[in-house]
Amino acid sequence: MFALGSSHRFYLYDSHCDMRKSFDGLCGLIKSVMQRQATSGEVFVFLNRSRTHIKLLHWEKGGFVLYYKRLESGTFLPPHVKNGELFWSDLVLMVEGIQVVKSIQKRRFSLP
């Protein structure tokens, strides 16, 4: 089943990415630059230099899944991330092209 949700952990690659890279090239970036394991089940997000293309690489049982979106107009505006980790809600807003100008996020309980 092809599905991503809030139960996954998302990591944004902090530089621009050559969108000609596929599974093996992106796995190389994850291992060498991001210092993470591509087969961990986490979702890795990549943007090109002009921020008109986005790729999400995810390992699920049996193999990799690559999600790819190209905008015909406009750009993706990446949110501010801490330690490269991206929240599901921020990813959805970025993909849908919604920019929150001012927001206040109330403190919530989270496990350590």
What order do you get walking across the sheet with 63-70 strand by strand?
63-70, 53-60, 43-47, 10-16, 85-86
Q: Look at residue 82 and tell me if it is in a domain.
A: yes
How far, in whole angstroms, is CA 21 from its chain's centroid?
15
Q: Which of 51, 53, 52 is nearest to 21 (CA)?
A: 53
pLDDT given for residue 104 in this prediction: 83
Number of domains making up the chain: 1
Q: Look at residue 14 and tell me if it is in a domain.
A: yes
**For 81-86, which contacts have Cβ atoms below 8 Å and span 24 or more sequence positions?**
81/12, 81/14, 84/11, 84/12, 84/13, 84/14, 84/34, 85/9, 85/10, 85/11, 85/12, 86/10, 86/11, 86/12, 86/45
Q: Look at residue 105 and tell me if it is in a domain.
A: no
Positions of the chain with pLDDT under 50: 1
Range of the domain at 65: 10-96
Q: Look at residue 104 and tell me if it is in a domain.
A: no
Q: For residue range 58-88, what is the model confidence (pLDDT) as tens digits? A: 999 899 999 999 999 999 998 888 889 999 9
Q: Look at residue 1 and tell me if it is in a domain.
A: no
Q: Look at residue 106 and tell me if it is in a domain.
A: no
pLDDT given for residue 50 in this prediction: 96
